[in-house]
Structure 1
Amino acid sequence: MKFDLHTHHFRCGHADGTIEDYIQAAIKAGLQVIGIADHSPYFGSPEDHPQPGIAMARSAFAGYVEEVLRLKQKYAGKIEVLLGMESDFFPEHIDAYRQAYENVPFDYIIGSVHLSGGKSIFNRNRWKGLSDTEKVEQKTIYYDLIRQSAESGMFQVLGHIDAMKGYFPEFSDIPAAEQIDGTLKIIAESNVAIEINTSGKTKTVGGWYPSDAILERALFYGVKVSFGSDSHVPHRVGDDWEEVRARLKEIGFKDWVFYRRKEPVVVPL
């Protein structure tokens, strides 16, 4: 069974195409399950659209949910459409996000850390001039946020857990084994999955998130894994699915999961 839990569309302001475009692309790619998980509104602000080009407006949220649910019914029997969301994680605004998601019939929510230490994880300049000690501190802050997101109970999947390497490949070489292992232990204990996200290939680093080294540690600690292309264009839906499946089997995983009504559905590799 082929699935992809991480796709976007025009509402976030930096993706192309409609939700239906991604569903049709999934059918064409031979998927049986497609999850729509666009970027959440910034619920930490009272403004309707404080981050145009990054996330959808608050006023677009209800329409997003309604459209996915409508298309879920329209395509029933052809492909299973899941209602998801890629949610930012801000500890200081966690109550606002919980309230916004309450009573929404999500199949799953992906929790992603996009800002760490007050800066975008994809900011190419954030590493300039930092000492080795300061780089370790920044990596530690990042993994502490991921740990907190796992402990929050808000998410079924954690997104791209080493995406800080996207425009700074040297990120993987910053020593932080203790922090990563501690985070993976908490993820396993929290019964949350991590995604293998193939959008790293669209960044300087190339490849996928997370690294094989992290996946090997995740297997050791018993962390569940899922799949997301993080498509911002329809033709990337399901991108590298077969390659990821083969690599996970090589590492030693036996299965992976997607979520329906926030319950894991186990798919053998």
Structure 2
Amino acid sequence: MKRYFDFDMNDYKDRKCNFHSHTVRCQHAVGEEREYVEEAIKEGFEVIGFSDHSPYLFKNGYVSRIRMTMSQLEDYVKTIEALKKEYREDITIFLALEMEYFPGIFEPTIEEIRQYPMDYLLLAQHFFYENESFISVRQNWTDEMHLKSYVDLLTNALDTGYFNMVAHPDIVNFTGDEALYTKYMKKLADRLKDEQIPIEINVNGFRELCNYPDRRFVKLGVENGNDFIVGVDAHDPNEYHDLASYKGCIKMAEDFGGKVFWK
């Protein structure tokens, strides 16, 4: 499938990369952008992507407390573009957004975002958006409907052609029938493999002992022939130095015989 943004992370397999990093604009990260760049360089990263939480054109004037606002987008772009030039001899920097797929309001939002020179979009589905309210995908779901809805959202988002990669695809917290988990998450693993999008093993989730990265999905991905990457998901510049969690994510894939890019 042709993607709107001409970017392929597979072009960087031989370089130490992190395509998942935030800024203070999302309201739950700390540090200056420059600090993220410099700490990544110290840790030997050759490529980083700033992918802060995208603004969204919500209905009825709703303002999110976990995303930048649309009025901050221009400054975000200018800041990262300036750092690209300043550090071009030291590290490759990409400009991106981490974005959820909310049908109905995605379309006007993406029209705004398309006005800016994004390098890629990172799909990350933290919520179901139903009747203008947010429902976390990390609730303790046991029913087939919500698991199917989660996988359908990611699949439909990829169908748009706007997303180049997926953050923590195993973030959905399904504790129901294991056969159902395998059925639907296998479909997601198949789609990622078809799109040549490696499965992200998320350092932030590993460090915080979240329900993701989910060993079930990592094992399923290995058996399915998927590739893997480690996503730092940095909300603090110092998180680039959390080698214990970074190596723990690598080990999770290798425990099942999987291969991780950019060790």
**Alignment of structure 1 residues 1-269 onto 2, 5 Å:** 1-45=15-59, 47=61, 50-51=63-64, 53-116=65-128, 118=130, 119-121=134-136, 126-127=139-140, 132=142, 135-165=143-173, 171-172=174-175, 174-175=177-178, 176=180, 177-203=182-208, 206=209, 209-237=212-240, 239=242, 240-254=245-259, 256=261, 267=262
8 Å Cα contact 1:4/1:237 also seen in 2: no
**Taking every aligned residue pair, what percent have the same amino acid on both sides?**
25
3-state SS, counterpart of residue 21 of structure 2: coil
1:117 shift after superposition: 5.7
8 Å Cα contact 2:17/2:46 also seen in 1: yes
Separation in 1 of the partners of 2:120 and 2:219? 25
Q: Give the match for residue 10 of structure 2.
A: none
Stretch of structure 1 that moved more, 37-46 or 86-95: 37-46
8 Å Cα contact 1:35/1:83 also seen in 2: yes
8 Å Cα contact 2:198/2:229 also seen in 1: yes
Compute the TM-score of the two structures, normalised by the length of structure 2: 0.80
* Paired letter, 2:169: I
Which 4+ residue blocks in structure 1 deviate beyond 4 angstroms? none
Alignment size in residue pairs: 242
Compute the TM-score of the two structures, normalised by the length of structure 1: 0.78
| Pairwise CA RMSD | 2.6
Separation in 1 of the partners of 2:72 and 2:149? 32
8 Å Cα contact 2:21/2:51 also seen in 1: yes
1:89 shift after superposition: 1.2
3-state SS, counterpart of residue 89 of structure 1: coil
1:194 shift after superposition: 3.0
8 Å Cα contact 1:139/1:174 also seen in 2: no
Gaps of 5+ in 1: 166-170, 257-266
1:163 shift after superposition: 1.7
8 Å Cα contact 2:26/2:67 also seen in 1: yes
* Paired letter, 1:142: Y
Separation in 1 of the partners of 2:115 and 2:255? 40
8 Å Cα contact 1:36/1:84 also seen in 2: yes
Separation in 1 of the partners of 2:211 and 2:50? 20
* Paired letter, 2:63: P
8 Å Cα contact 1:219/1:253 also seen in 2: yes
1:202 shift after superposition: 4.8
> 1:182-203 CA deviation, whole Å, 9 max, x = no partner?
2222222233333211111354
Gaps of 5+ in 2: 1-14
8 Å Cα contact 1:197/1:208 also seen in 2: no
Separation in 2 of the partners of 1:150 and 1:86? 14
1:95 shift after superposition: 1.7
